[in-house]
Structure 1
Amino acid sequence: MKAVRVRQYGGPDAMTIEELPVPTPGTGQALVKIEAAGVNFIDIYQRMGQYPLPLPFTPGQEGAGIVEKTGPEVTEVSPGDRVAYASAIGSYAGYAAVPAWRLVKLPATIDSKTAAALMLQGMTAHYLTHSTYPLKSGESCLVHAAAGGVGLLLLQMAKRRGARTIGTVSTREKAELAKAHGADEIILYSGQDFETEVKRITGGRGVQVVYDSVGKATFEKSLNCLSPRGCLVLYGQSSGPVDPFDPQILNAKGGLFLTRPSLHHYTATRDELLSRAADVLVWVASGELRVRIGAEFPLSQAAEAHRRLAGRMTTGKVLLIT
Structure 2
Amino acid sequence: MPAVSFQEVAKTYTGPRGRFQALSGVSFDIEQGEFFGLLGPNGAGKTTLISILAGLTRASAGRVTVMGHDVREDYAAARKALGIVPQELVFDPFFSVRETLRIQSGYFGVRNNDAWIDELLENLGLADKAQANMRQLSGGMKRRVLVAQALVHRPPVIVLDEPTAGVDVELRQTLWAFIARLNRAGHTVLLTTHYLEEAEALCHRIGMLKQGRLVALDRTAELLRGMASTMLRFKTDHALPAALEPQARVTGRIVQLKAHDATEVEQLLAALRSAQVPIEDLEIGRADLEDVFLEIMQGGALAEASA
Q: Same fold by TM (over 0.5)?
A: no
Normalising by the residue count of structure 2, what TM-score does the alignment of the two structures yield?
0.24
Normalised to the residue count of structure 1, the TM-score between the two structures is: 0.23
Relative to its length, the structure with more helix (as a share) is 2
